[in-house]
Amino acid sequence: MELQCKVQNYEWGKLGQNSTVAKLVASADSSVSIDNAKPYAELWMGTHTNGPSIIIERDIPLSEYLKTNLDAVGPDVRKKFDVLVPFLLKVLSVRKALSVQAHPTKEHAEQLHKTFPDLYKDPNHKPELAIALTPFEGLCGFRPISEIKDFIINLPELQQILSEDVVNPILTSRNDDNTKLLKDIFHSLMSCDKNKIVNGLESLLNRLQTEEPSTQSSLLYPLLNRLHSDYPGDVGCWAPYFMNYMQLMPGQAIFLKPNLPHAYLSGDCIECMACSDNVVRAGLTPKHIDVATLVDMLDYNSYHPSEMLFNPQIEDPNSCIWRPPVPDFAVVKIRVEPGDSYNTIVRPSPSIMIIISGSGEACDTEPISIRPGVVIFLKASRQLTLTSTENYIEAYQAICNV
């Protein structure tokens, strides 16, 4: 069954035809008119109440259909998650940075929702998988302490905004993985006086703009300047000196487990997560920030960028799968060459598939004409036949990882 899905026009999204989200939506529905002055940030595919998908041929929400068609969910998923699609599949088109953030564990999410229901509106956790469709930038996980130390040594402006009590232990540390040191120094940064943050950023930018290109590159001046242009004087502009700066190529992925600090910076990606909108923020955002909660909950282990990459497993000649260590979701990438057909693997869960490129036909019982942007819901334990007529078909299929 073909779905009509919700576009979110968040301010950080790419504008008009520069957005992969906009291009996919317009390709799927020729009646859609794209406004090149408007941001098209996210395409939501699933049953989340903030952006529910509609079954086109029945003109009803997918969530309503599932209530009277339990076979579509399947017994394994019903036993674990009740009658719903337990994941949310998205396409993101990022023009400027999203917030420095993390997502709580299931237990913490329930506690936050109970205590602050107006701020944390649902009790579910939100582990995420992001798969790059275009070159994609993000911050992910804390850097090794040795790298943070080098930045502190080479950036006196950073030293000056941090408490001496936390700088000295970092500078004398020989341990590259000390969670207490990381927590202390990040807390010092995030709780720093606003004026000191603003003045420190201005001083650093003024100094770096006159440095040699090699020095600017090693001290992340291009990224700092971009963040400051979008969020002037924001404490989150300092985050790249503490977190790994990831530059993903198409097909590379990161898995954002609970409590892992991160921020998407630019590019287009497929994103899949537990069915939740639970975020704790502390910078690079006009939305509510909760420094105390974020600082207390974060994963303060150090990671190398290579540890942040999350690799798929080959399932057959046409498909590979990213299987995160959570039951809520996994994502399958499917490729069908021109003139070929492919029968999808039968899964015990419902699935949602989006066509990213190519054209042809998808058939379970009735054929659907497919092209970029078409979104399909497939019942549990059913098989879809994809036939490519022009170019190769590339599709992403979200499933439940039961």
Could you confirm whether 281 is annotated as catalytic? yes
pLDDT at 162 over 90: yes
In angstroms, rounded to a whole number, what is the distance separating the alpha carbons of residues 237 and 179? 22
Provide DSSP, 362-384.
EESSSEEEE-TT-EEEE-TT---
CA 321/CA 319 separation, integer angstroms: 7
Phi, psi of 345 (to 5 degrees): -70, 135
Calculate what percentage of the chain has a pLDDT beyond 90: 77
187 is in an annotated binding site: no
Q: Which residue has the higher pLDDT, 110 or 225?
A: 225
Residues 6+ apart with CB under 8 A from 226: 96
DSSP state string for 107-163: HHHHHHHHH-TTTS-------EEEEESS-EEEEEEEPPHHHHHHHHHH-HHHHHHS-
Q: Are 24 and 356 in contact (CB under 8 A)?
A: yes
Amino acid letter for position 57 = E
pTM (predicted TM-score): 0.94
Q: Assess whether pLDDT exceeds 90 at residue 78.
A: no
Q: How sure is the predictor about 309, in pLDDT bands with cuts at 50, 70 and 90?
A: very high
The pLDDT, as a whole number, for residue 125 is: 64
CA distance linking residue 83 with residue 81, whole number of Å: 7
Average pLDDT over residues 71-75: 92
Phi-psi region of 191 (alpha: psi -120 to 50; beta: other; left: phi over 0): alpha
Any known ligand binding at 101? yes
What end-to-end distance do the CA atoms of the chain give, in Å? Answer: 22
Give me the mean pLDDT over the 366-388 stretch: 95
- pLDDT tens digits for range 202-241: 999 999 999 999 999 999 999 999 999 999 999 999 999 9
What number of H helices and E strands is found in the chain? Answer: 13, 23
Contact at 8 Å (CB) between 347 and 401?
Answer: no
SS3 assignment, position 367: strand
Task: Check the annotation: does 103 bind a ligand.
Answer: yes
Examine the pLDDT at 27 and tell me if it is beyond 90: yes
Q: Which of 81, 84, 127, 130 is nearest to 105 (CA)?
A: 127
Q: Which residues pair with 243 in a beta bridge?
A: 142
Question: Rounded CA gap, 263 and 283, in Å?
Answer: 9
* Spatial contact of 73 and 83, defined as CB atoms under 8 Å apart: yes
Per-residue confidence band for 111, with pLDDT thresholds at 50, 70 and 90: confident
97, pLDDT greater than 70? yes
- Catalytic one among 95, 281, 335, 347? 281
Sign of CA dihedral 295, 301, 305, 306: negative
Q: Which residue(s) pair with 269 in the sheet?
A: 92, 132
Cα separation of 355 and 298, whole Å?
Answer: 35
**Residue 288 is assigned to a ligand binding site:** no
Q: How far apart are CA 72 and CA 379, in angstroms?
A: 4
Place of tokens 């924001």: 234
pLDDT tens-digit readout, 310-346: 999 999 999 999 999 998 999 999 999 999 999 999 9
Burial of 57 (0-12, 13-18, 19+ CB in 10 A): exposed
Q: What would the mean pLDDT of 282-290 be, rounded to a whole number?
A: 84
pLDDT for the residue 126: 81
Q: Tokens for 323, please give them.
A: 């299987």
